[in-house]
Amino acid sequence: MGFLRHLLSKLGWYAAAFAAALGLNFFLPRLLPGNPVDTLVAQALRGGASSETKQRVYETYIQEFGLDQNLGAQFLTYVGNVLQGDFGTSFSRHPAEVSAMIADALPWTIALQLPAVLLGWIIGNLVGAVAAYRRGGLDRGIYLSSLFLTAAPYYCLAILLLYGFAVVLPLFPTGGGWSFGLSPEWSAPFAADALSHWFLPFLSLLLVFIGGQAIGMRSMAVYEVDADYVRFAESFGLPDRKIVGYIFRNGMLPQITGLALAIGTLVGGALLTEIVYSYPGIGTLLYDAILNKDYPVIQAVTLLVLIVVLVANFLVDVLYGLIDPRIRAAERGDR
Amino acid sequence: MNRLRALPPHCLAAAAVFLAIAAAGLVGPLAAPAGPGELLGGPFTPPGAEYLLGTDHLGRSVAIQLVHGIRTSLYIGLLAGVTGTVVGVVVGTLAGYRGGLLDEILMGFTNIMITVPAIIVLLLLSISLDTRSVTVMGLCIGAVSWPWTARAVRSQIASLREREHVDIARLSGSGTWRIITVELLPYMMSYIVMAFVIQLYGAILAEAALSLLGLGPSGTPSLGVMLHWAIAWESIRGGQWWVFLTPTVFITAITFSLLLVQSSLDSVFNPRLRARKAAR
């Protein structure tokens, strides 16, 4: 029962955060001075567009937001459309549906980020636990290099890797999701080609993520290595590998929270990495949309990222409640 | 002062690097022979005697842009860092000291702000603003970066206010304001300094990320804007290393040195880490 209550209260918080996010996504462009839609239309049409284009942009807006209604009714229209998966049509690639453009880009982003996050989390935490246990020179070396990896923004490492391993040493392709002349299909040559394009952006995400997790784990494990159970295990002469395993399990709990908190930054950073490699995912879609002032696409992408981050946070919270009985006890007030 | 002497050498080196870069941003624009927007030579001229760091896709000097860019990035970072730290400390102190309903409301709001990724809010704010001056950008970044500080300050204040000296001050009739400034905040100074360094670090990164996306400050180069043009004009694939490597190296140097300073301050101020060092 306690767990269910924990889940429900969390769900309430996330519902509030989601409402706030949806509201921000809708109202922020409207609350600022001036009539934002006029500004949007004027900006979208800067450089003398034909009257046909102008008509199209106006129609898109009127249809999408129900502009003849008041703000509250417009918001309901917007929410209704979004719930049906309708994000309107793109300005720059008319008459492409925004939802179709997102559906095209999303698999690339998932293929890039999911393995990087999961692998990076495991490797980073192991490295951090080993560093804290061994101490000395190894610890300092791992700590400084991890600090460097996290301090350098995602895209800086991506730029260095791209220049080093695709331009100076042409080991990998210089960007894109696949080679010129091929088109996405389920075949072995295309898969091999896509994999070679995938590797560098994946590697740069993985390295940054390992660095961040290693630092977090190390600072947790620093307190664990002086704990009695470690001394006890050492006095038995247990192998280091086993002791690091114990430390890992004890330091892991806070690291799961760390994962939840890192997801927002991680998704944002990964989108920027895609831009460096012109990888055909959500990040590049967003970049092109900003350059072309394609507002329906921008708003759809921001909403998507918000939803993903909230859902991921919620899942981690559920997982945490399942793993750590103390959370449930605290919610019940038993502690 | 004694505690500062305990700082490890790599921390002092990092602080020196940061100060040197900041000095370049302060003095450089005054000493530069031309403005950052002036077209001086042919496009993509490699570094040499004439142009210290070469020229970009339009023929503007990369070195002159760099010193202006450092100045812009640091200005935005400082403004956002101060805003974020001040708002965070005020919200956290109010919530932690007053408690009750105000605490619930403020922390509920803070938790929602933490869950919604700051970069997305910034992106929405930036596309809504027609012209983005450096000051507006700094304030926007500061306005979304305070929740972390608020949460941490709140938990510290909530435990500090249970101390006896605070009770004595309250019994002897000190006002809320006096208790907060005299009895509570001095204990938090080391923490606030570290929070400010982290805020500064985050703000410089946020500016670079926004500018990279093409939502940078209008009319002035910043490190992120330089990176944006370097990528937009394909200088990485074209092998014009001086164009993209310059902002990359400087962004990394600034953020790495700030993070090193912060972590060393942590090991000096945090008694648990200090004890471990002594025991070794």
pLDDT in tens, A126-161: 888 888 777 777 777 888 888 888 777 888 888 888
Q: State whether A51 and A188 are in the same domain.
A: no
Domain range list for chain B: 23-46+53-279
Please answer yes or no on whether B256 and A39 come within 8 Å at the CB atom: no
At which residue do the structure tokens 């995602």 appear? A154
Q: State whether A61 and A188 are in the same domain.
A: no
pLDDT at residue B254, rounded to an integer: 92
In a domain, A290, yes or no: yes
At which residue do the structure tokens 């994000």 appear? A87
pLDDT at residue B89, rounded to an integer: 93
Name the minimum distance, in Å, from the CA of B189 to any CA of chain A.
Answer: 22
pLDDT at residue A335, rounded to an integer: 38
Q: Which residues from chain A sit within 8 angstroms of residue B229, using beta carbons?
A: none
Contacts 24+ apart (CB under 8 A), B234-242: B235/B44, B235/B56, B235/B57, B236/A159, B236/A162, B236/A163, B236/A167, B236/A174, B236/A276, B237/A166, B237/A167, B237/A174, B237/A175, B238/B44, B239/A167, B240/B44, B240/B46, B240/B54, B241/A163, B242/B46, B242/B47, B242/B53, B242/B54, B242/B62
pLDDT at residue A334, rounded to an integer: 45
CATH number of the domain residue A185 falls in: 1.10.3720.10
Between residues 2 and 41 of chain B, which touch chain A (CB distance below 8 Å)?
Answer: 10
pLDDT at residue B20, rounded to an integer: 92
- Closest-CA residue in chain A for B248? A156
pLDDT at residue A49, rounded to an integer: 59
Start-to-end C-alpha separation, chain A: 16
HEC string of B198-241 equals HHHHHHHHHHHHHHHCCCCCCCCCCHHHHHHHHHHCCHHHHCCH
Q: Which residues from chain B sit within 8 angstroms of residue A306, using beta carbons?
A: 116-117, 120
Interface check for B122 against chain A (CB to CB < 8 A): the answer is: no
pLDDT at residue B279, rounded to an integer: 46
Please answer yes or no on whether B256 and A147 come within 8 Å at the CB atom: yes
By mean pLDDT, which of A34-43, A190-199, B207-216 is the weakest? A34-43
Please answer yes or no on whether A151 and B256 come within 8 Å at the CB atom: yes
pLDDT digits (tens, 9 = 90+) for A238-283: 888 888 888 777 777 777 766 776 777 777 788 888 888 888 889 8
pLDDT at residue A216, rounded to an integer: 80
C-beta neighbour count of A183 within 10 angstroms: 6
Q: What is the pTM of this model?
A: 0.83
Q: State whether A128 and A190 are in the same domain.
A: yes
pLDDT at residue B138, rounded to an integer: 92
- Closest-CA residue in chain B for A288? B213
Q: Which residues from chain A sit within 8 angstroms of residue B265, using beta carbons?
A: none
pLDDT digits (tens, 9 = 90+) for A71-120: 777 778 778 888 887 777 777 776 778 888 888 888 888 888 888 888 98
| 0.90 surpassed by complex ipTM | no
**Minimum-distance CB partner of A39 among B130, B209, B280:** B130
Burial class (CB in 10 A: 0-12, 13-18, 19+), A131: buried
In a domain, A43, yes or no: yes
pLDDT at residue B75, rounded to an integer: 94
Please answer yes or no on whether B208 and A162 come within 8 Å at the CB atom: no
- For residue A305, what are the domain limits? 101-332
In a domain, A13, yes or no: no
Q: Does residue A123 or residue A178 have the better pLDDT?
A: A123
pLDDT at residue B79, rounded to an integer: 95
A259, A252 Cβ separation under 8 angstroms: no
Name the minimum distance, in Å, from the CA of A185 to any CA of chain B.
Answer: 27
Q: What are the residues whose beta carbons fall under 8 Å from the beta carbon of B35, sequence distance 6 or more?
A: B64
- Domains of chain A: total: 2
Q: State whether A106 and A49 are in the same domain.
A: no
> Which regions in chain B score pLDDT beneath 70?
1-7, 130, 270-280
Please answer yes or no on whether B252 and A152 come within 8 Å at the CB atom: yes
pLDDT at residue B77, rounded to an integer: 94
- Closest-CA residue in chain B for A264? B117
pLDDT at residue A64, rounded to an integer: 59
Q: State whether A65 and A207 are in the same domain.
A: no
Please answer yes or no on whether A28 and B118 come within 8 Å at the CB atom: no
Q: State whether A307 and A185 are in the same domain.
A: yes
Q: State whether A270 and A297 are in the same domain.
A: yes
Please answer yes or no on whether A147 and B272 come within 8 Å at the CB atom: no
Please answer yes or no on whether B259 and A272 come within 8 Å at the CB atom: no
Question: Percent of chain A scored above 70 by pLDDT?
Answer: 80
Q: State whether A116 and A265 are in the same domain.
A: yes
For the domain B23-46+53-279, what is the CATH superfamily, name and number?
A: MetI-like (1.10.3720.10)
In a domain, A112, yes or no: yes
**Minimum-distance CB partner of A291 among B209, B214, B280:** B214
Q: Does residue A16 or residue A59 have the better pLDDT?
A: A16
Please answer yes or no on whether B124 and A28 come within 8 Å at the CB atom: yes
Please answer yes or no on whether A275 and B114 come within 8 Å at the CB atom: no
Q: State whether A166 and A67 are in the same domain.
A: no
pLDDT at residue B280, rounded to an integer: 42
Interface check for B245 against chain A (CB to CB < 8 A): the answer is: yes
pLDDT at A314 over 60: yes
pLDDT digits (tens, 9 = 90+) for A199-249: 888 998 898 888 888 888 887 777 777 778 888 888 888 888 888 888 777
In a domain, A196, yes or no: yes
